[in-house]
Chains A and B, each alone.
Chain A
Amino acid sequence: GAVVSQHPSWVICKSGTSVKIECRSLDFQATTMFWYRQFPKQSLMLMATSNEGSKATYEQGVEKDKFLINHASLTLSTLTVTSAHPEDSSFYICSAAGGQTANYGYTFGSGTRLTVV
C-alpha cells in the first residue's frame, strides 16, 4: 500500500530556532499534502493544504510566515516551524492525497512530536 515517510519522529529544540519536518510519499505521487497539528487530548487540526508547485492554503488562524510549507515535488513536502516557541510544542502529522489505497487516497505520516524548550 501507499506509504508516507515522515521525519523526524521527534525533535527537541531551543526556543527561537527553526525546525523542518519532511514528508515523503514513497511509492506514489502526492498531488496534495495536508499538514495537521494535534495538542494533547484534542483533535487533529488542519493547518494548511498544499498542492505540488503552488502556494499552500492556510487555515484561519495559522500564520503562514511562521509555518512555512514547501511542496516542490510530487514526493516531498516540508513544514518549517520558524522561530519556535514552547507553545508550538505539539504533534505534527502530514497526510498525502494521491495514493492508491483503500484509505480513499489519504495516507498519513507517522507524525513528529515537537518539544520546544
Chain B
Amino acid sequence: RKEVEQDPGPFNVPEGATVAFNCTYSNSASQSFFWYRQDCRKEPKLLMSVYSSGNEDGRFTAQLNRASQYISLLIRDSKLSDSATYLCVHNDYKLSFGAGTTVTVRA
C-alpha cells in the first residue's frame, strides 16, 4: 500500500468555483503533512503545512482528519493561476509524495 494516495483528478472547475480534494495516508503515526503545488515540468513548491486544528492561508484551507487518516485541501474563489497539480506530502524523516491531484481552472 502506498504511503499517501490521492485522487488524480482532473478537477475541471470554472473561475470563482470552490474545489476540494483529499489525500489518504497509511501510517497512523504520521505527524507532519504538507500540500505542495507542482506546475508542469517544474519542481514542487510548498503551498502550506497541515495542522491538526486546520489552517487557512488566504483562499486555501487545509484539514487533517486523524481518525479517518486523510488530509484535505480546499480552494475557494479559484483563479486561473491555481491550475496545477497538488501533491500531498508527509514527512516521516523524509518526504513521501502522493502522485498528485490535477486541478484545471477554466475562464
* Residues of chain A at the chain B interface (Cβ within 8 Å): 34, 36, 41-46, 49, 91, 93, 95, 102-104, 106, 108-111, 113
Which chain B residue lies CB-closest to A44? B97
* A45 CB contacts on chain B under 8 angstroms: 97
Pick the most buried of B34, B41, B43, B45: most chain A CB atoms within 10 A of its CB: B43
* A41 CB contacts on chain B under 8 angstroms: 8, 99
Q: Does B46 lie within 8 Å of A102, measured CB to CB? A: yes
Q: Does A106 lie within 8 Å of B95, measured CB to CB? A: yes
Chain B contact residue count (CB 8 A cutoff): 19
Query: What 7 A-B pairs have minimum CB-CB distances, sorted nearest first?
Result: A43-B99, A108-B43, A44-B97, A43-B97, A103-B46, A111-B43, A110-B43
Nearest chain A CB to B37 CB, angstrom units: 12
Nearest chain A CB to B2 CB, angstrom units: 8
* Residues of chain B at the chain A interface (Cβ within 8 Å): 8, 32, 34, 41-46, 49, 87, 91, 94-100
* B91 CB contacts on chain A under 8 angstroms: 104
* B45 CB contacts on chain A under 8 angstroms: 108
Q: List 14 A-B contacts (CB under 8 A).
A: A34-B94, A34-B95, A41-B99, A43-B98, A43-B100, A44-B87, A44-B97, A45-B97, A93-B43, A103-B46, A104-B32, A106-B95, A108-B45, A111-B42
Which chain B residue lies CB-closest to A101? B46
* A46 CB contacts on chain B under 8 angstroms: 94-96
* A113 CB contacts on chain B under 8 angstroms: 41
- In the complex, besides A91-B41, A108-B44, 4 extra interface pairs with C-beta distance below 8 angstroms are A43-B97, A45-B97, A108-B45, A111-B43
In the complex where A34-B94, A104-B49, A104-B91 touch, is A42 in contact with B41 (Cβ < 8 A)?
no
Q: Cα distance A45–B2 when bound, in Å? A: 11
